[in-house]
Structure 1
């Protein structure tokens, strides 16, 4: 048995995975921190989190877990909603800023694919360079689309739950909080039980294809060709 047997990804693609995760996690957490700071909460700023320095956001254990198990985490950004002028509204925007940042990154990746293809930017490159660029862009787009979808699941500790909590009527929010103690177990079941993950996360992650097509639609009109996302992602 080789070391590669313990990984969730092919060993030769591991450098691309790690680089994509560093970028994606860093921008996601920075988006939370920056938005909270702009809305009047200095907590993240005082902790040095309003920065694009990966060292302030990346969790080494979370990264290792992602490489081994296929999912991981970054350091969560602390947010004091009592500092917001409109706590619920600004809380929703601050929370949503993380997943939305991943959607923006996915669009940047989609744009890069169109630009590279349209201008034949790699036609004089070696096969190795050509392959490396496309593998990186594939992982970059897929990872950010999945992070966007995954974080919108309304289960603690994901962003989707915090958004749901903030937009729900106060009575419903109090009811939700009573079930938070069970949320971790539900979360782990969804991750580690194959039949459950296949029919929940698996189905959810299929949405990355129509999402990629939606992001690329204006670009396909501009550049005059389509990208076969179901083959690439």
Structure 2
């Protein structure tokens, strides 16, 4: 985000998308858990718009400031009994799905604004579309939502993908030790930060988000008739 200080639409789009995305992510997981008859997540107090450390860690904010993406702190769910692991996994998947739907909505909004510009400007539409603040804002929001979706599926805790992996995986001692080390030793957190920040600091470093965000957006765009480059 710091690399877009001279681009108001990009800066505002990243901030808005991150805040909206985190709130929607938590609400989706709590609602999905509620549908699975798990009241534990609702007691977490995460149905508010608060952005405290209970919801977003300082390390996640660092990821947003430097790389434009972060993650929500895990919501406690009732996964004590193994027979409920698929219910919990479904509730966890609701978070990434919320990000994807928000990205789709942002693309749809950008498409609607593009049509409006085409109607209002006639032959000069192509020149104005590229510089329209609202369209640029929505496209950056779509990029950020897609980044949040992909990052949430990285298979290490505290990301949703990591929680799902260890929830559905075997319950051997080695598997438990790996989960403990990734979670309690903050190794998973360091991996998430590396995924976000290393490609920004070292341009030649492979970027997981950079490689997957635009294919995801192209796939979502195709659902509503948008052909992205």
TM-score, normalised via structure 2 length = 0.75
Deviation of 1:119 (Å) = 4.8
The answer as to 2:160 corresponding to 1:162 is no
Partner of 1:25 in structure 2? 22
Q: Distance in 1 between matches of 2:190 and 2:203?
A: 13
**Residues 164-209 of structure 1, C-alpha deviation per residue, up to 9 Å, x if partnerless?**
112223337435325423434444444444459932xx14432222
SS of 1:123 mapped into structure 2: helix
Q: Distance in 2 between matches of 1:30 and 1:67?
A: 21
Deviation of 1:144 (Å) = 0.9
Partner of 1:80 in structure 2? 78
Q: Distance in 2 between matches of 1:109 and 1:55?
A: 23
Q: Confirm or deny: 8 A CA contact 2:71 2:152 kept in the other structure.
A: no
Deviation of 1:111 (Å) = 2.0
Partner of 1:135 in structure 2? 136
Count of residue pairs brought into register by the alignment? 212
Q: Confirm or deny: 8 A CA contact 1:166 1:173 kept in the other structure.
A: no
Partner of 1:177 in structure 2? 179
Q: Confirm or deny: 8 A CA contact 2:154 2:160 kept in the other structure.
A: yes
Does the C-alpha gap of structure 1 residues 197 and 95 become closer, same or farther in structure 2, counting only changes over 3 Å?
farther
* Residues 93-102 or 34-43, more deviating: 34-43
Q: Distance in 2 between matches of 1:189 and 1:216?
A: 29
Q: Confirm or deny: 8 A CA contact 1:62 1:73 kept in the other structure.
A: no
Q: Distance in 1 between matches of 2:193 and 2:147?
A: 17
* Residues 208-217 or 113-122, more deviating: 113-122
Partner of 2:124 in structure 1? none
Partner of 1:3 in structure 2? none
Q: Distance in 1 between matches of 2:64 and 2:151?
A: 17
Identify the structure with bigger relative contact order (alpha carbons < 8 Å, sequence gap 6+).
Answer: 2
Q: Distance in 1 between matches of 2:203 and 2:40?
A: 38
For residue 103 of structure 2, the aligned residue among 97, 103, 106 is 106
> Structure 1: which 4+ aligned runs deviate by more than 6 Å?
none
Deviation of 1:10 (Å) = 2.1
Note the residue ranges of structure 2 that are not aligned, 5 or more in a row: 122-127
Q: What's the C-alpha RMSD, in Å, of the aligned pairs? A: 3.3
